[in-house]
Amino acid sequence: MEKTRVLVVDDSALMRRIVRDILESDPRFTVVDTARDGVDALEKIGRYAPQLVTLDVEMPRMGGLEALKEIIRRYRTPVIMLSSLTQQGSAVTIEALALGAVDFVPKPDLKHIESRECLARELLQKAAAVPGARVMPAPVPQKQPVSVRVKEATQAKARRVVAIGASTGGPQALEKLLTALPGDLPAAVLVTQHMPPSFTRALAERLNKLSALDIKEAEDGEPVLMGKVYVAPGNFHLEVDGSHCVRLSQTPPVEYVRPSATVMMKAMASVYKNDALGVILTGMGKDGAEGMIAIKRQGGMTMAQDEATAVIFSMPRAAIQAGVVDRILPLGEMSGMITALCRRNVNESGSRL
């Protein structure tokens, strides 16, 4: 088996050694070299042509974000960011994912052996997915008219709901999808993105600044309103009860994840019946497939991102193989289809999406 060649980039000699030791403990990887900053990294990528780069965010001379832009522009090499757990670190990490980083691993407190074991487990799992990953450069930002940025004020509970599940590559895909939806979308949108606490809030805040829709991290008990987007908080499942209010729970993980798209979609199917639309975006694993089955059983519609535009196709593939996906679309066509389906027969009570 050919080993994946990795370049480790970090300004800390200790972190470079730790990450190198973790990767070289696994026979699937070989570390071709290490680099202390972005300038050093770009020179060594040109020399060694690694298949994966682990990249620190904060470095001298050339920081992580600047280096990431150059790595993607010049080489299209997959990058996994190493991020601090601070609020600022979360926001920078979300920006890195939007720029095209494949994934990220939070830096734990390395004073404790449990933290090192957690870092090793997560880094190896995410690095193993890289050979099948596609690097998607950030789209050229579209200038929106000022009116688009005015959030639609409404207190009407949503009669229709769009439930979106995503994992690896999801933040970038969500940004492209949600910013293309109109502010007067006649539905609520619920999002499960596999991500730790604090990072989901940073994701929601970034998306809210870019979208015509009102986007926030979901809070337990709040009503699900038309034209609003609710992002599941890290470590909580997002559901909706019979009164169309958000319910957050810490029931056991499903498919090893919490929040789970399947948990969210099953709740949507139960409450909204044929007025639910399930959407699976790029991601590793098979979370969401069982949720899409539940939506179809209740008469709702389903949609999955196609392989050509997905960073990792595992989650869409699992739903497609279950035989419950109505439409398989490129990411760029999904917002238009979602809008059309939500507006179909919008004034007819109880109509199918």
CA 352 to CA 346: how far, in whole Å?
A: 10
Known catalytic residue: 237?
Answer: no
**Computed from CA positions of residues 254, 259, 261, 264, in that sequence, does the dihedral angle turn out positive or negative?**
positive
Q: How far is CA 267 from CA 14, 135, 164, in A?
A: 46, 33, 13
Known catalytic residue: 194?
Answer: yes
Neighbouring residues of 226: CB distance < 8 A, sequence distance ≥ 6: 154, 156, 157, 158, 159, 185, 186, 187, 188
Known catalytic residue: 244?
Answer: no
Q: Is the peptide bond before 259 cis (omega within 30 degrees of 0)?
A: yes
Residue tagged 């688009």 (tokens): 148
Return the number of other C-beta atoms located less than 10 Å from residue 102's C-beta. 25
CA 56 to CA 37: how far, in whole Å?
A: 8
CA 135 to CA 137: how far, in whole Å?
A: 6
Closest CA to 174 of 182, 183, 165: 165
Among the listed residues 10, 40, 103, 287, the single catalytic one is 287
Question: Taking a C-beta distance cutoff of 8 angstroms, is the pair 151, 181 a contact?
Answer: no
CA 279 to CA 165: how far, in whole Å?
A: 6
Q: Torsion angle, CA of 191/329/145/159, rounded to 10 degrees?
A: -50
Among the listed residues 83, 90, 167, 198, the single catalytic one is 167
- Amino acid (1-letter code) at residue 132: G
Among the listed residues 10, 11, 40, 194, the single catalytic one is 194
For residue 144, the SS3 value is: coil
Look up residue 255 and give its DSSP letter: T
Return the number of other C-beta atoms located less than 10 Å from residue 166's C-beta. 29
Question: Taking a C-beta distance cutoff of 8 angstroms, is the pair 201, 90 a contact?
Answer: yes
For the residues of 159-211, what is the DSSP string, one character each? SSEEEEEE-TTHHHHHHHHHTTS-TT-SSEEEEEE---TTHHHHHHHHHHHH-
- The catalytic residues are 167, 194, 287
